[in-house]
Structures are given as structure tokens and as C-alpha cells.
Amino acid sequence: MSMRNEVPTGWEDRNLGEIVKFSGGAQPPRSTFIYEPEDGYVRLIQTRDYKTSKYKTYIPSKLARKKCNKDDIMIGRYGPPIFQIFRGLEGAYNVALLKAIPNEKELNKEYLYYFITQYNVWAFVENLSQRSGGQTGVDLDQLRKYPFPLPPLPEQQKIANILSTVDEKIAVIDQQITATEELKKGLMQRLLTKGIGHTEFKDSPLGEIPKSWEVKKISEVADFRNGKGHEKIIDENGAYIVVNSKFISSDGKVIKKSNQNLSPLNKGDITMVMSDVPNGKALSKCYLVDENGLYTLNQRICLIRAKDMMNNYFLYLSINRNRYFLAFDNGVGQTNLKKSEVLDCLVKLPSMKEQNEITEILNNVDTKLQTQKDKKQAYQQLKKGLMQQLLTGKIRVNNLNEA
């Protein structure tokens, strides 16, 4: 089936390779690498560097054959995940990266960035990569043939400006989210150790705490129940969402469903991961159930239900990724918490009145944070819709009120 669609009036029917050059990276031997900046060296950019600055690497400037600037469009050449699009770093780039270089007499670089980040382009590259064995990689010969309906430069600039404006708004919201997350982290540190308005403190097995607080085992403040294995998990038609480690630990909520309600859950229940691989990120990760009758537990996930003396959200904050549980992970074999080990975990117990006050403060911050995340998602959806319309010419910028 042809990938080509009818080209809008005034646009040219081109291929990507006619207006974009792809330049692969290079790197000298590892023996030349250093890990602190020095005169005469340049940073070696690798795909991982676009996600973390923990592993900065430098090579001699005289050996830096392929260089990139912060505004250059860089492509992850291999996968998984394949065909990641990056910008924002400056240095010499290695063999796992490609630089997409537009013919700027015909193609605006910012417009190219938005064109190449479209889902359709990624899906095209991904589909080609699956046809060959071994490590997945970008098929450059086929990518060069990808259809590129090319608007006139002034129209490219207008489209890029519109999409950049949305990206700038998303970046501002990201900063707000980061600030709110830092606020919550600071408030939790203060409120869960010092409480509200206390002037007298005492030593406890959990460190210094307000004098009026107690320390209790989970067995004293909550009920416990293990989950059960589901014989059949259905992706689409099941009545209940199965709470397993991937559901709890993934921000994207990996949803599996079952028609078996073996361990029904109530709103306010806490579920916790009891098994994880060495040095994993899921052990003792908790989820606070938000609706009655929707969820059911899988095996190696436990239910912790607060008793009357304990606010369920306060208990959730106290045990989620608690250091007591993480100490069972020796970094060698899979960690499997026992029921007795969970029940022996110590938690702080303020008065119910103070627990409620603390959780109200933190809930208000959570509400603000969720509002910001919802706002970001709305702008992301707006951007997605604009890209689908503007980059295909279904909507022309001359018909938009840019005011």
C-alpha cells in the first residue's frame, strides 16, 4: 500500500532523503575516554546522555570527528526503543546516533524536528526494523524514501512557531510540576517526622518523634491479606483490574483484567508489592485504591487495610518504599517478603486528629500536582492534534487566527 497522500495546493511532493542528509556518528577507542572535563577534550554524546547526566564521558578534541550543537536533531540509531529523537546537547556524537541535517534553503530545521517526531514516521521505521534479525536499527535507505509533503518556507516557519509555542507551554508546566513535587517531598519530610506544632520530642526506634506520638507495628494498626494467582487474565473484557507489580510500579499503569474477583478491594485499601528482582524499583511500592469493586489482587501483592486508629493515606505514606522493606533486598537473589516481615514493620502513630491534618495538607498538594499533570496532558493532546492537521496540510496556517 502506498504511503503517499495527495499533496496540498502549493506544497511539493518530496522524499525525506531529497531534503535531509543523515550523518552517522563516530568515536575513538575507549582507552582515550576520560570522565571529568579537561582542556583539549570534548564531551562524547551517547543516547543515554539525553536522559541522565550521570555518565558524562569526554574524548580528545582532535579525535572528535562528528559534532552536534544543542539545536541539532539527533536520532537514536539502534533499539530498543528505536528512532528516539533528541535535542539539547553539544559535543561529539557516537555511532549510536544520527544527525538529521536539513537543506535549509528548502527546509526549516524546526519544521523538520516536528515532522520527524510524528508517530507515523516512528511506526514506519519500527516496522522496517522488525524485519531483520539481531539488534534493531534504522534502515536509512528506506527512511530516505519516506514521503515528505513540503510546504513553502514561510508556511513551514508559521507551523513550527505554533508547535513551538505549545512546547514552550508544556515546558513551563513541567517546571511547575517539578516545583510542586519538590514542595511535597519537603512537606512529607517535615510532617512525617516533626508533625504539626510540636515543641517536645523523644527518641524512638524510628528516630526522634514528637513526644505525644507512638510507634506501632503494622499488625497493630492494619489488617493484612495476601493476593491470589489468577488462572486467566483478560486484556479487554475482564470486569476487574488485576493489581500486580507492573500495575503498581509503572507510571503508565500496565492494565490487565480478570473476571475472577479473588481478592476484592475497597477504596482506601493499600496494596503493596512483596517480590522484586535484585535492585529493582518495585519492592514495597504501594498503591492506594481509589474506587470500590474495581480491583482484585494478584499473587505476591498484599492488601493492607488500616484499622480505625490509622488514617489510610497516612499509613500509605508511611510504608510506601519504606527503608525497612528495602533492607531485605541484598542485591543478589529475588527478594520475597514474608507476611510476618510486613506485619513487623514499625510505623509512627500520631493522634487521628493530627493524621487527618497532615493528610489534608498533603492531599491539597496532590490535588495541585494532579491539576498540573492534567493540564500538561491536555496540551500534549492539543499538540498531537495540531501536528496531525498542520503537518499534513489538512488545516492551513493562513486559515488560523494566530492572534
| pLDDT > 90: percent of the chain | 83
Domain end: 113, 130, 150, which one? 150
Name which residue leads in pLDDT, 212 or 250: 212
pLDDT at 2 over 90: no
| Average pLDDT of the segment spanning 57-74 | 96
More confident residue, 400 or 284: 284
Query: Which residue blocks in 203-289 are alpha helix, DSSP H?
Result: 218-221, 245-249
Residues 24 and 116 in one domain: yes
Q: Out of 102, 126, 150, pick the residue that ends a domain.
A: 150
Residue-level pLDDT at 130? 66
- Phi, psi values for residue 45, rounded to 5°: -90, 125
Question: In this structure, are 332 and 219 located in the same domain?
Answer: yes
Residue 181: which pLDDT band, with cuts at 50, 70 and 90? very high
- Is 106 inside any structural domain? yes
pLDDT tens, residue by residue, 140-180: 999 999 999 999 999 999 999 999 999 999 999 999 999 99
Whole-number pLDDT of residue 402:
45
Q: Indicate whether 364 belongs to any domain.
A: no
Residue 54: predicted pLDDT: 92
In a domain, 246, yes or no: yes
Q: At 281, which amino acid appears?
A: K
* Interval 85-101 mean pLDDT: 96
The set of residues, in sequence order, having a beta carbon less than 8 Å from that of 86 and lying 6+ positions away, is: 47, 50, 73, 74, 75, 76, 97
- Residue 50 domain-assigned? yes
Total domain count, the chain: 2
Q: Can you give the CATH number for the domain in which 87 is found?
A: 3.90.220.20
259 lies in which domain range? Answer: 214-349
pLDDT in tens, 290-302: 999 999 999 999 9
Do 16 and 146 sit in the same domain of this protein?
yes
Are 18 and 102 contained in the same domain?
A: yes
What is residue 3's predicted lDDT score, i.e. its pLDDT? 66
Mean pLDDT of the chain: 93
Q: Report DSSP letters for 22-51, one per residue.
A: EEE-----GGG-BSS--TTEEEEE-GGGGT
| Pair type for strands 41-45 and 91-93 | parallel
- pLDDT at residue number 8: 92
What does the pLDDT average to over 325-344?
Answer: 94
- In the chain, how long is the greatest CA-to-CA distance? 77
pLDDT of residue 250: 87
* Class of residue 159 by CB neighbours under 10 A (exposed 0-12, middle 13-18, buried 19+): buried
